[in-house]
Amino acid sequence: MKTLEEYIKLPYRLEIIPDTEENGFIASYPELPGCITCGSSLASVAANAEDAKKEWLFAAIEDGLPINEPNDVDSYSGQFKLRLPKTLHKTLAEDSKKEGVSMNQYCVYLLAKNSAENKILLNSK
């Protein structure tokens, strides 16, 4: 088992979402189940998240609980093949040309935008 200082230095992914009911933000570390906090501003929620992570790790070490390590982004290539209908291919090619970007860049933009909107919708329920 690592020391508290070693765990704190690991690059755990921090997720921050708006808290529309309290007019602030909620922060969590997906790899550390139950490690969640809130704050009235982005700066305060980020500071609170660091404190929450430290306390969560300390408690887990003290109780001898298993601690997940951050997911390794290097295990993903950033590439995948996608087959799509010719009409959709045509539409995407035309739309990307109108935007002045490659179709690949345009598709990444659309996927990222949709992913962010879905996270906001899911977290607002």
Question: How far is residue 2's CA from residue 56's CA, in Å, rounded to a whole number?
Answer: 14
Residue ranges of E strands in the chain:
15-19, 24-28, 36-39
Q: What is the average pLDDT across 56-64? A: 96
Q: Please provide the CATH number assigned to the domain covering 77-123.
A: 1.10.1220
Is the fold of 4-63 the same as that of 77-123?
Answer: no
Determine which helix (DSSP H) or strand (DSSP E) holds 55, and give its type and residue range. Answer: helix 42-63
Q: Residue 121's pLDDT band (boundaries 50, 70, 90)? A: low
pLDDT above 90 for 74: no
Q: What is the average pLDDT across 32-54? A: 94
Three-class DSSP category at 17: strand
Break the chain into its structural domains and give their ranges.
Answer: 4-63, 77-123
Let me know if domain 4-63 sits in CATH 3.30.2390.
yes
Q: Within 13 Å, how many C-alpha atoms sit on residue 2's CB side? A: 13
Q: What is the average pLDDT across 17-29? A: 90
pLDDT of residue 33: 94
Given a contact cutoff of 8 angstroms between Cβ atoms, the answer to whether 92 and 101 are in contact is no
